[in-house]
Structure 1
């Protein structure tokens, strides 16, 4: 087996930055009591002006006042790990959150689906970067070794035990996953890497160190398996973004909305499902949330489409008060059926699938403004079709696509009858009796029409519809 470890060294900072339009501005995350706030993490822009993790807020403000702050929230870190695990579930069915701020994935069984590891890795990195999370990835024959190698490597791939032993032997003892006390004791004994530790008699190590040290050594070498609990994505999606200031316009809501719909699409792809209904909650200070209901006729998961539909519906809402936070909740997550497309699309940049066009029209014009046509079980042409908001059903090719509201007499002398008569007698049970002989005709200009003559009548043909 091969295990990939994806380490997120700045998970808390990335989780905050991805919600800010000014991600390149100096930002520091604060922790600690109100009397002594401490910088827990800083972004590169804040580091460039002299800020460092561990500084007190007072000391940082003495260096510069030109930086923003946000709270370091462990609950948010757990939320981001769950989101990332749900996205990784689309690549592997064995995803674990055993270690903090990282994902473990079994990837050997997935290579036949996603291709060789370089291609697999490139796709994985592309999706993680699109989500806004910095990361390091290593691959090793066991998950414990993959996690330890991610401390000092990025992109390292080891597939056999001999190469793994050589890579681990050179690692400093501080990066081997031991407790701080055990790592300090090894250093004082002059055992500063794994090779020197493994050269010692095992009995001697067992007398000097706790049992967890030997267990960790066995896990690194693959002698003892690491017990893992595998992640299963939840059946609901809910995510909230707290805004940095009171928002009074729709335009300022588009950035968090785009992030929410992108996260929803990534989550749906991971669990191989779509979304048919979801709600966007706009939170206000002293009143109930404003809600934007988004309903689709079929399950979708395209990020751009979800964003466009939600934006169109959001713009129809009059904001009753400034918005403090936005929250997206989706609980209707049916199985996703990919759209069937032709292998060779001649002009893809100028085409729009019917499903997407229909949903955009409904979002902009309203749910009741867009209808499809469906055939009904009635022989009378006037009653053989109906409008509906669901997916349209195909109309028989033997009937015209354009039926006139009122039949019109045909007085053209050079009509050519192509087919007929087809007799339709129906409706005696409801008082709307129809007795007609229908013909497919062609005019002098080449138009094909559908005309009838009442049974027993000697008058002109009555045009009832045109074929496309």
Structure 2
């Protein structure tokens, strides 16, 4: 079983949630530029009741709704809300796909619960602290759950659909108009008298594909649960960095190397766990007088050896003189895919490129 959480008009609704604006207030998100020439990027449900849709000119929108609330995008607020939203989804299950910036598909196979509907109701209650409108639905396949969550029927009653509810009863026009399933011949379907997804599913697939193309054939397969796929699981961004504060501050590089040996071993273990190697190493030093120093050291070959990284750091610090006592330092490893090379019997190559580069740095220093 799969579940889909869709957060419509995310950029707009995160601003409304931040400012504590009631959902009954019609609000829109404007495009950048002069307000007289701007258009609507996103609209909330209250604005849709006035006939406002994305793409409409701002002047025409104000003519239709005099008390319309005009909002401008705030990147910092959106990033903060998205971070909170990701933390909420990860608290439900680590197995999820970020299908779009507004949509998450969750694999419920590893979740133990009395029933899927109970789990969905509990999850929706837990999402109330986000103060964001949400459309949530269950489905036997990822695409079927996604299809159901995009429906306005789901928006009106998120998580409270009847247990025997079938997506085939959903209106055809609103789902066809969604960005995820855009057929080119909606007018033809309406002329045929199709009103629900069940009407579309009742048509023969081959004839549908011949007349309207592969998009409708794929939708037909989804409705009959013949189309399934693996989720592209979300991989959180891993930052391989570590810090240490010296108390009291130090004046030479020996204490730095002593601490760096242990910290580099920890970072290399994390890299190995993610099947990565270090391509670059960045050193940041903070001085007692408020100054700082930063240097990036590029490795000749991606490495997972803490000794090789420590030697590169040692070579650099030997020729470095601090302007003031050092009270803090940071190490960050830039990951890349490890390189694997087969040793050839009659091929003369550099046995250890990193040691060779370290020797060159010592000679040039």
Partner residue in 1 for 2:108: 107
1:271-309 per-position Cα deviation (integer Å, ceiling 9, x unaligned): xxxxxxxxxxxxxxxxxxxxxxxxxxxxxxxxxxxxxxx
Q: Is the 8 A contact 2:141 2:225 kept in 1?
A: yes
Partner residue in 2 for 1:138: 137
Where 1:19 maps in the other structure, the secondary structure is helix
Shift of the 209–32 alpha-carbon distance from structure 1 to 2, 3 Å rule, reads farther
Partner residue in 1 for 2:8: 9
Question: Shift of residue 90 of structure 1?
Answer: 1.8
Partners of 1:108 and 1:223 lie apart in 2 by: 19
Partner residue in 2 for 1:28: 28
Q: Is the 8 A contact 1:81 1:102 kept in 2?
A: no
Q: Is the 8 A contact 2:28 2:42 kept in 1?
A: yes
Partner residue in 2 for 1:155: 159
Question: Shift of residue 95 of structure 1?
Answer: 0.7
1:361-381 per-position Cα deviation (integer Å, ceiling 9, x unaligned): xxxxxxxxxxxxxxxxxxxxx
Partner residue in 2 for 1:226: 229
Partner residue in 1 for 2:191: 188
Where 1:110 maps in the other structure, the secondary structure is coil
Task: Pick the structure with more strand per residue.
Answer: 1
Q: Is the 8 A contact 2:201 2:223 kept in 1?
A: no
Normalized against structure 1, the TM-score is what? 0.41
Shift of the 235–203 alpha-carbon distance from structure 1 to 2, 3 Å rule, reads closer
Partner residue in 1 for 2:308: none
Q: Is the 8 A contact 2:3 2:108 kept in 1?
A: yes
Partners of 1:14 and 1:133 lie apart in 2 by: 6
Is residue 69 from structure 1 mapped to residue 58 from structure 2 by the alignment? Answer: no
Where 2:112 maps in the other structure, the secondary structure is helix
Where 1:137 maps in the other structure, the secondary structure is strand
Partners of 1:191 and 1:74 lie apart in 2 by: 42
- Structure 1 spans left out of the alignment, 5+ residues: 237-330, 333-468
Partners of 1:26 and 1:191 lie apart in 2 by: 32
1:141-180 per-position Cα deviation (integer Å, ceiling 9, x unaligned): 1111112222122325688xxx57xx23322322256424
1:315-368 per-position Cα deviation (integer Å, ceiling 9, x unaligned): xxxxxxxxxxxxxxxx99xxxxxxxxxxxxxxxxxxxxxxxxxxxxxxxxxxxx
Q: Is the 8 A contact 1:86 1:232 kept in 2?
A: no
Partners of 1:156 and 1:22 lie apart in 2 by: 25
RCO higher in structure (CA 8 A, sep ≥6): 2
Partner residue in 2 for 1:208: 211
Partners of 1:61 and 1:203 lie apart in 2 by: 47
Question: Shift of residue 52 of structure 1?
Answer: 3.2
1:166-185 equivalence runs, <5 A: 167-174=166-173, 175=175, 178-185=181-188
Question: Shift of residue 107 of structure 1?
Answer: 1.9
Partners of 1:77 and 1:44 lie apart in 2 by: 19
Equivalent in 200, 206, 209 of residue 197 of structure 1: 200
Q: Is the 8 A contact 1:140 1:157 kept in 2?
A: no
1:53-86 per-position Cα deviation (integer Å, ceiling 9, x unaligned): 4543234455777665322579987885565234
Shift of the 124–103 alpha-carbon distance from structure 1 to 2, 3 Å rule, reads same
Question: Shift of residue 21 of structure 1?
Answer: 5.0
Shift of the 62–181 alpha-carbon distance from structure 1 to 2, 3 Å rule, reads closer
Q: Is the 8 A contact 2:12 2:71 kept in 1?
A: no
Partners of 1:122 and 1:29 lie apart in 2 by: 30
Shift of the 63–200 alpha-carbon distance from structure 1 to 2, 3 Å rule, reads closer
Partners of 1:22 and 1:196 lie apart in 2 by: 40
Shift of the 33–168 alpha-carbon distance from structure 1 to 2, 3 Å rule, reads same
If you compute each CA radius of gyration, which structure gives the higher value, 1 or 2?
1
1:431-442 equivalence runs, <5 A: none
Q: Give the alignment's Cα RMSD to 1 decimal.
A: 3.8
Task: Pick the structure with more helix per residue.
Answer: 2
Q: Is the 8 A contact 2:37 2:58 kept in 1?
A: yes
Partners of 1:196 and 1:119 lie apart in 2 by: 30
- Structure 2 spans left out of the alignment, 5+ residues: 240-330, 333-365
Partners of 1:180 and 1:89 lie apart in 2 by: 33
Where 1:231 maps in the other structure, the secondary structure is coil
Q: Is the 8 A contact 1:28 1:70 kept in 2?
A: yes
Q: Is the 8 A contact 2:15 2:78 kept in 1?
A: no
Normalized against structure 2, the TM-score is what? 0.52
1:363-402 equivalence runs, <5 A: none
